[in-house]
Amino acid sequence: MSKSPNTLAMKEIESETTAVWVALNLAYRSVHREMEKALKEAGLPSLRWYDVLWELERSRDGMRPFELENGLLFEQSNLSRMLRRIVDEGLIEAFAYEGDGRGKVLRITAKGRRLRKRMWQIYGPQIESHFGKIVDANKAGKLVSILKPLIF
């Protein structure tokens, strides 16, 4: 009998440790998919674009690509092209960074703010509908405190 568990959809959990990973995996995929679907059905961009827009909206002075990369856990090359697309849509703008000729600063535009707001009208309720129960059951703090150490 093999001791190896699968990642997903496992019926017989082979170890508690693996059970956590399987559950995390399925939960993330499941929720993520539904959120992307909801946004797409509303004719809006993906969650990744939202993350970038919101990150820039919160930072009054703008941010540099490598900061987004670190904060949002994007691949550098992926982010690079993604930013170009977002810039092409006029949602953010890139300016030269004074002090380091290699860098640039990204700032959200008025159009970008408007779009982010529209996205939030879909996205916010999605978060509520998926995680509302957990919060009601007062489990949120616990779950967050368990998940946090996994990051990085």
Partner DNA sequence: ATTAATTACATGAAAATACATCTATATGAA
Partner DNA sequence: TTCATATAGATGTATTTTCATGTAATTAAT
Query: Whose Cβ is closer to DNA: residue 35's or residue 82's?
Result: 82
What whole-number distance in Å separates Cα of residue 21 and Cα of residue 15? 10
Going residue by residue from 35 to 74, which x/- string records binding to DNA, judged by CB under 7 A? -----x-----x-x---------------xxx--x-----
Query: Whose Cβ is closer to DNA: residue 34's or residue 75's?
Result: 75
- Token pair 């170009």: residue: 84
Residue 14: how many CB atoms within 10 A of its CB? 15
Query: Whose Cβ is closer to DNA: residue 100's or residue 136's?
Result: 100
Three-class secondary structure assignment of 46-110: CHHHHHHHHHHHHCCCCECHHHHHHHHCCCHHHHHHHHHHHHHCCCEEEEECCCCCCCEEEEECH
2, 4, 77, 145: which one binds DNA (CB under 7 A): 77
36, 51, 89, 93: which one binds a copy of itself (CB under 8 A): 51
CA neighbours within 13 Å on the CB side: how many for 87? 14
In whole angstroms, the minimum distance from the beta carbon of 54 to DNA comes to 17
What whole-number distance in Å separates Cα of residue 110 and Cα of residue 25? 36
Residue type (1 letter), 74: F
7, 15, 30, 80: which one binds DNA (CB under 7 A): 80
Residues lying near DNA in the complex (CB under 7 A) are found at: 40, 46, 48, 64-66, 69, 75-78, 80-85, 94, 97, 99-104
Residues lying near a copy of itself in the complex (CB under 8 A) are found at: 2, 4-9, 15-21, 23-33, 47, 50-51, 54-55, 57-58, 71-73, 116-117, 120, 123-124, 127-128, 130-135, 139-144, 146-152
